[in-house]
Amino acid sequence: MKSISNLRDGIVRGETTARAATESALNAAEKLNDSLNAFLEIDRAGALNRAAQVDAQSEKTDLPLAGVPFAIKDNICVRGMQTSCGSRILGPYHPPYNATVIDRLIAAGSVIIGKTNCDEFAMGSSNENSAFGPVKNPWDLSRVPGGSSGGSAAAVAAGIVPVALGSDTGGSVRQPAALCGVIGLKPTYGRVSRYGLVAFGSSLDQIGVLAGEVSDAAAVLQVIAGRDSSDATTADVPVPDYSAELNEDVKGLRIGVSRVLLGKGVHPEVRAAIEKSIEAYRDLGAEIVDVDLPHAKYAIAVYYIIATAEASSNLARFDGVRYGFRAKDAPALKEMYRKTRDEGFGPEVKRRIMLGTYVLSHGYYDAYYLKAQQVRTLLRQDFTRAFEKCDAVLTPTTPTPAFLFGEKVDDPLAMYLNDIYTVTANLAGVPGISVPCGLSSDGLPIGLQLLGPYWSEARLLRLAHAYQTARPLNARPRVFA
């Protein structure tokens, strides 16, 4: 699959058509889906109709994404297509409206080919929690692609589409990006509208971008970023030209490294790859400085209190009354509620709802939820102090390469610890990006993560682009279109 700029420019110049690009993506999606299970819905008729509309426009130069095929995570609303969130409780629900990001992509000329598989309600780090079966990692079909945006990451890694949208509540864009060897960008909280994103943790959720190239992530962010009157949490902050800064020199930029975060629990090959990436940035002229994030060690505990509390509240709306799945043979309303939620939700979602209800309950709110919010404030302050010394903080994206299916699914704590480097960005609201930085001895991708101050996406993209240009991951996964 070509990059966005090459694909779009060819369509604008008349060297190819949006239909040809769309058919190529659709054919690849249909051919590989039996192996990958990356898509829950492939909309051939709708995509070809949309491509015809793009081709019919006489003037395409004002369409920054003219004819570019996209895949969309199945918790982002697209009118006329399913939005199941990987759950039986929503099933074949079709929303009557588009998410704001979808309207902006369509206005920019893009073509949506389908909805991608994900952990149920975006709760998971391996895509094993989907009610419709796990997504397979294109690099090794016996291994997880990461979660919860595993379908979007796999679709990009396998070359089906150049770019896809996912959501990131605790690393659900960056973590699968690292395990699948692609770029994963989580913007600052409030940079991209959440209107039309099915809520998991409202103070943590953010729509993000998965792409093969940093330049593609920048092009998509340019389109979807900005204030939205439908989402009061979006900020009225100017959106810079992200692509304009990509090729600027990174010499003199300061990259912070917390050596404590490279200690216990990090796979030796991940640590070695990160150390090499630090040296690569030195070679590019960046300055490496030591930083301290003393409260990062509490991040997992804080995250799984706040996220589950918000999930408990947000998922209360799925009761079988208004839309989605409704249990049969329930003689009374209360019994219908109980059976619907018992049969409709999977075990991980039930676990998080119960945890969230517990920490919000009388007698435990102050001890757990309130305390977690106080530590969250301390974590934000840690980042504020760190960014006084540096322009970005570099960490691993994940502590290990992709693990085998079944390896951690029965041990929730081991699974949760896989997000140890990513949840901090969501708790603090800062932007982050994952960039491939090498392969393990098993030929599995390893990702580095860059975190920056609020609204610093342009600088993060610049740093990521410099690294990808200097140290590209030229290997391809075993399953590739």
E strands along 120-252, which residues? 163-167, 183-186, 207-211
pLDDT attached to residue 109: 98
pLDDT attached to residue 2: 81
d(CA 165, CA 73): 6
- pTM summary value: 0.97
Q: What tens digit of pLDDT does each residue of 130-140 get?
A: 999 999 999 99
Cβ(95)–Cβ(283) below 8 Å: no
- For 92, half-sphere exposure in the C-beta direction (CA atoms, 13 angstrom radius) is 0
Total of domains in the chain: 1
Stretch (H or E) spanning 96:
none
Cβ(432)–Cβ(422) below 8 Å: yes
| Structural domain includes residue 53 | yes
Cβ(173)–Cβ(432) below 8 Å: no
pLDDT attached to residue 412: 81
Q: What tens digit of pLDDT does each residue of 32-51 get?
A: 999 999 999 999 999 999 99
Q: How far is CA 229 from the centre of its chain?
A: 23
| Structural domain includes residue 259 | no
Q: What is the DSSP letter of 42?
A: E
DSSP 412-450: HHHHHGGGTTTHHHHHHT--EEEEEEEE-TTS-EEEEEE
Cβ(43)–Cβ(252) below 8 Å: no
| Structural domain includes residue 287 | no
| Structural domain includes residue 299 | no
Q: What tens digit of pLDDT does each residue of 313-331 get?
A: 999 999 999 888 999 988 8
| Structural domain includes residue 67 | yes
Please, is 34 exposed, middle or buried when counting C-beta atoms within 10 Å of its C-beta (0-12, 13-18, 19+)? Answer: exposed
Domain that holds residue 199: 4-243
Beta strand 432-439 with 69-73: parallel, antiparallel or unpaired? unpaired
Find the helix packing angle between 18-36 and 150-157, rounded to 10°.
120
Q: Which two tokens stand for residue 4?
A: 């966005």
pLDDT attached to residue 450: 98
Q: Which residues pair with 432 in a beta bridge?
A: 186, 451
pLDDT attached to residue 331: 87
CATH code of residue 36: 3.90.1300.10
In 10 A of CB 354, how many CB atoms? 12
Low-confidence ranges of the chain (pLDDT < 50): none
Cβ(150)–Cβ(144) below 8 Å: yes
Catalytic residues: 73, 148, 172
| Structural domain includes residue 402 | no
pLDDT attached to residue 410: 81
In 10 A of CB 97, how many CB atoms? 13
Q: What tens digit of pLDDT does each residue of 276-297 get?
A: 999 999 999 999 999 999 999 9
∠ CA 70-76-77, nearest 5°, is 100
∠ CA 91-92-97, nearest 5°, is 120
d(CA 431, CA 398): 16
| Structural domain includes residue 39 | yes
| Structural domain includes residue 400 | no
Q: Distances from the Cα of 276 to the Cαs of 273, 432, 460, 467, in angstroms?
A: 5, 20, 19, 11
